[in-house]
Chain A
Amino acid sequence: MKYFSFLLVLGVTIALAVLVSIPIGQIPPIAPLLDPNHGFWQNSISEDELAAEELTLENLTAPVEVVYDQNLIPHIFAESEADLYRAQGYVTAQHRLWQMEFQTMAAAGRVSEIVGPIALDLDRMTRRKGLAFGAELGMKFLQENDPETLALVEAYADGVNQYIAQLSDARLPVEYKILNYRPEPWSAFKSLLLLKYMSDMLVGDRDLEFTNLRKILGEAKLDRLYPEFPSENDPVIEAAHVWDFEPLPVLKPDSMAYPDEELLISPLSQPEEGTGSNNWAVAGKKTKNGNPILANDPHLSLNLPSLWYAMQLSTPSNTVKGATLPGALGVISGFNQDIAWGVTNATRDTRDWYKITFQDESRKAYQYGTTWKPAERRIEEIKIKGQEAFIDTVIYTHYGPIVYDRSFRAERQDINFALKWTVHMGSNEQKTFLLMNKAKNHNDYNRALDHYTAPAQNFVFACKSGDIAMRIQGKFPLKWPGQGKFLMDGADPKMEWQGYIPNEQNASTLNPERGFVSSANQHPTDSTYPYYVFDNSYEHYRNRRLNRKLGEMEQITVEDMMGLQFDDYNLQAAEALPILIRLLGTYKADSPEAEKYLQELKSWDFFADPNQKGQTLYSIWSSETFESIWRELLESKAAVVRPSSYQTVELMAKSEQDSIFEVKSVDGVEAADYHVRLGFDSMLVVMEKWEAEQGDYSWANYKKTTIQHLVPTFKSFSVVNVYTGGGSGILNATGSRHGASWRMVVELGSQVQAFGVYPGGQSGNPGSKFYENFIPVWANGGYLDFGFRMKGDVDNVLFKTTLK
């Protein structure tokens, strides 16, 4: 009996211990998670409470000192570059390990390993786009051409790995505990992959949509609705810039046939609208102190942990500070003792699609001119949590991978398309940032940029010596006008890119007469630039607002530049609202509700400040109106993209009787006013519902800016309903999910003055007091002091750690 009772209770105890140690469905093992000594409770402790005076970091040539200021911004003082980047890897991993790894898992198409089959389709897409393939080529490029950079990238990886190796259960980031996995070793490859991930986030194309539009609308109407330059073009490089080079010839084939069936495949995901950025620099002659001032605010998805991590990186010969990308070396947008630089996305179509004709079902060869070229195969094994791995075979042509084929998203059409993208070409973006971090003048800046391929960026520059500059850098294919706007026939060798624009012929400007340089994702140049620069997503509003303001301003101070980054003026509304009101006429004049809204709109000053109601009403009315105008076009079964809001407003203003306003399904509808009224009615419906359910419709309450954790289902790790203004097409581009992911203003006087902020915090740990502490500052248009720190400075030190 006593043996039996012992065995019974022992059995129950063991069963209990096992039950709390294994995952049940999506629920992680409960005891390791709840154990106060190792589980999530330990993540309640903030970094300053865990401060250590000394930590072991092997392979250093000399001890490295890390000083954290009161915002947990590390200032790393190392004796050599290799030590510096080893320490950067270690320190970044301390605060952002989970994020670094998760982002590169996403870039490698390995999310299914963490979250299970729900991510399989996403992973297949990522792999078929060839991001990892591109990073492999980047590794090969470094091994063959730049062992010095590779050694530094490996030192960084070693730093990350030494952190992972000593990581205790207690200190493991909480996301690993919840999702029940552990970090794997970091590698140089992963750092390269991260930069490919940025390309994927920032580069789009609309080849498929334009192919369909060409079929539906015909060439003439397409050109009218989607002109390659807007009527009021205000490009990045000032209009009337003189191009002092002999352009390379680009031969347009005499005859060509585009694949022109209506294509019912679903397009690649695109960078979301609202993704963009501003940067500018003003020359000393326009500033109060006579020093150049540079500003940069990249707009991206608003996420936690933040994409950016602030750092100062010092060696005896150089000190640089600014925003780093966890996983990449050096500072990406920042300043050193001599220069400052910043980036905005230089949208341009560098992603083209070729229709591939295979010889037979085996898909071993494809047609190219009069011959058959052999195709290669890449086997992608996608591991899935809790399931057998999925094997995907991706066929590679000399253009690039076949993304769509019979096994993936082909919907009933047996179609093969190969993707040609500059991301698949061996390149060395990391070198650009390593060199830029220690650049001293305009020549160094240009030399750094020569290594940069993708994603193409507008690099703004300012130097203590007084120079300001802008260069649009990327690897841009030479294209004849129209090339790559539509899907092309891969069997026709005449459709190939004919080479690349030489770096020295990329559009750039140095010290222009107007006293400033600026970019806001608009057209790179005016139409005199001798190369074809098509893209569908160029900005038409932020750029004009920015250039007007910079043109008017004199005696500029750092505070003025901060004000401009936080400028809420809605230029689109200023241009479109009077037209909407005119076309509305006396419609619904007898309704008190309509009258109330109309009065609010008429008295609105066009600033999208958080307390403004006019902005809410305008955003609903305009979007419902534009929606109505293009409804019949968008109802096509094939994927299309609608004309830009700028073009739509212009058509309404200049030709309200245009045939494009006809609605075929409704008799007698021939003009824009119909859509304006319909939009107004829709607005009344939306507002009635909103007022009944939510009440307040001031702008911040309506747009509900949310800074979302990288795992969207971890809602309680997100920060919702941030009270702040701005929106898409506005300099303060903060919409509901996108906005200024980093703001920086630098004045390059004898003492560099710098300010920066981002919507997040230095810690990636949702339990830390440094996780979201910058958000209120950011939301109010405030900044943190980003001035340099010297090694011995004692003010505002949170703690110091020596790595040795």
Chain B
Amino acid sequence: MRFIFLTILVALLVVFLNSVGPFWMVMIGIAFLSALISPNGFGGFMGGGLGMGLAWLGQCIYLGINTSSPLPDRMGELMGMGSGMTLIAITGVVGFLLGGFSGWTGILFRKMFQKTPENVYRG
């Protein structure tokens, strides 16, 4: 549940913060969000990653459909990656990795300050 919540919030963060700030600012934001919402480690990674990756992917596709510009294909060819579709995928993957590691960092940051519960079996 927390993981889905994080994914949605990260996606919103990308849409609003990234339109005015650079990607690294978004990464810091994701770390804070995931520390705040605090799913487990894997959830933080996946939430941050999917949130940012899907947002970037969605933004590329939106621009592509809206403008029907030849630029993605031209850039794909220029960078030796074939078509614009490859670039859309790569953008998504880069977004996923940046968001994922930011989210994971946030979780681990929070964990540093959490007391490890002792004698859990004694109740």
Q: Given A10-B105, A10-B108, A716-B78 in contact, is the A767-B67 Cβ separation under 8 Å?
A: yes
- Does B3 reach chain A (CB closer than 8 Å)? no
Tell me the chain A residues, 525-540 only, with Cβ under 8 Å from chain B. Answer: none
Most buried by B among A10, A17, A35, A767: A35
- Given A32-B22, A36-B91: A2 in contact with B59 (beta carbons within 8 A): no
Question: In the complex, A683→B36 CA distance in Å?
Answer: 77
The answer to whether B23 and A41 touch across the interface, beta carbons within 8 angstroms, is no
With A31-B23, A44-B63 already in contact, the answer to whether A13 and B105 are too (CB < 8 A) is yes
CB <8 Å contact, B69 and A16: no
A35 near B23 with CB under 8 A, answer yes
CB of A260, distance to nearest CB on chain B (Å): 50
Q: Is A43 an interface residue (CB 8 A)?
A: yes
A-B pair number, CB within 8 angstroms: 110
Is A794 located at the chain interface by the 8 A CB criterion?
Answer: no
- Would A41 and B104 count as touching, CB distance under 8 A? no
Main secondary structure of the interface of A (DSSP, over half): helix
Q: In chain B between 39 and 80, which residues have their CB closer than 8 angstroms to a CB of chain A?
A: 56, 59-60, 63-64, 67, 69-75, 77-78
B5 touches A (CB below 8 Å): no
Contact A2 B24 (CB under 8 A): no
In contact, B69 and A769 (Cβ under 8 angstroms): yes
The A-contacting residues of B in range 68-115, CB under 8 angstroms, are 69-75, 77-78, 87, 90-91, 94, 97-98, 101-102, 104-105, 108-109, 111-112
Residues of the B chain whose Cβ atoms lie less than 8 Å from the Cβ of A5: 108
Complex Cα–Cα for A13 and B71 (A): 30
Number of interface residues, chain A, beta carbon within 8 A? 39
Which of B23, B74, B109 is in CB contact (< 8 Å) with A766? B74
Chain B contact patch, size range: 35 or more
- Chain A residues in 8 Å Cβ range of B119: none
| B31 surroundings in chain A (CB, below 8 A) | 13
**CB closest residue in chain B, given A1:** B116
Q: Which of B67, B71, B72, B112 contacts A6 (CB 8 A)?
A: B112
Least CB distance from A26 to B in Å reads: 11
B52 → A minimal CB distance (Å)? 11
A1-43: CB near B (< 8 Å → 1, else 0) gives 0110110011011001100110000000011101111101111
Nearest Cβ in chain B — how far from A305, in angstroms?
Answer: 14
Q: Are B71 and A43 in contact (CB under 8 A)?
A: yes
Binary interface profile of A, 251-285, with partner B (CB < 8 Å = 1, else 0)?
00000000000000000000000000000000000
B22 in contact with A717 (CB, 8 Å): no
CB distance from B20 to the nearest CB of A (A): 8
**CB-CB contacts of A419-457 with B at 8 A, as 1s and 0s?**
000000000000000000000000000000000000000
The answer to whether A44 and B71 touch across the interface, beta carbons within 8 angstroms, is: yes
Task: Judge whether A6 and B105 touch: CB under 8 Å.
Answer: yes
Q: Given A17-B24, A32-B22, decide whether A3 and B69 contact each other with a Cβ distance below 8 A.
A: no
Of all chain B residues, the one with the shortest Cβ separation from A772 is B70
- Inter-chain contact B69/A38, CB cutoff 8 Å: no
CA distance A768 to B97 in the complex (A): 30
Task: Give A350-385 as 1s and 0s: 1 = Cβ < 8 Å from B's Cβ atoms.
Answer: 000000000000000000000000000000000000
Q: Which residue of A lies closest to B71 (CB)?
A: A767
Q: Which of B19, B67, B70, B87 contacts A37 (CB 8 A)?
A: B19
Whether a CB of chain B sits under 8 angstroms from the CB of A181 is no
Question: How many angstroms from the CA of A717 to the CA of B72 in the assembled complex?
Answer: 11
Which chain A residues numbered 678 to 720 have a C-beta less than 8 Å away from chain B?
714-717
With contact pairs A6-B111, A10-B105 given, residues A31 and B71 touching in the complex (Cβ less than 8 Å): no
Interface contact B78-A717, CB-CB below 8 Å: yes
- A27 to B89: give the CA distance in the assembly, Å: 18
A2–B111 Cα distance when bound, in Å, is 7
Flag if B109 contacts A6 (CB, 8 Å).
yes
**A35 to B56 CA separation, bound complex (whole angstroms):** 7
In the assembled complex, A174 has its CB within 8 A of some CB on chain B:
yes
Q: Is the CB of A9 within 8 A of B101?
A: yes
B94 and A13 within 8 A (CB):
no
A32 and B23 within 8 A (CB): yes
Kindly provide the distance from the CB of B35 to the nearest chain A CB, expressed in whole angstroms: 11
* B27 contacts chain A at the CB level, 8 A cutoff: yes
A-B contacts, 15 of them at CB < 8 A, read A6-B109, A9-B104, A16-B97, A17-B98, A20-B23, A35-B18, A38-B18, A38-B22, A38-B23, A41-B63, A41-B72, A42-B63, A44-B72, A716-B75, A716-B77
Q: Return the 3 tightest CB-CB contacts between A and B, nearest first.
A: A767-B71, A44-B69, A36-B59
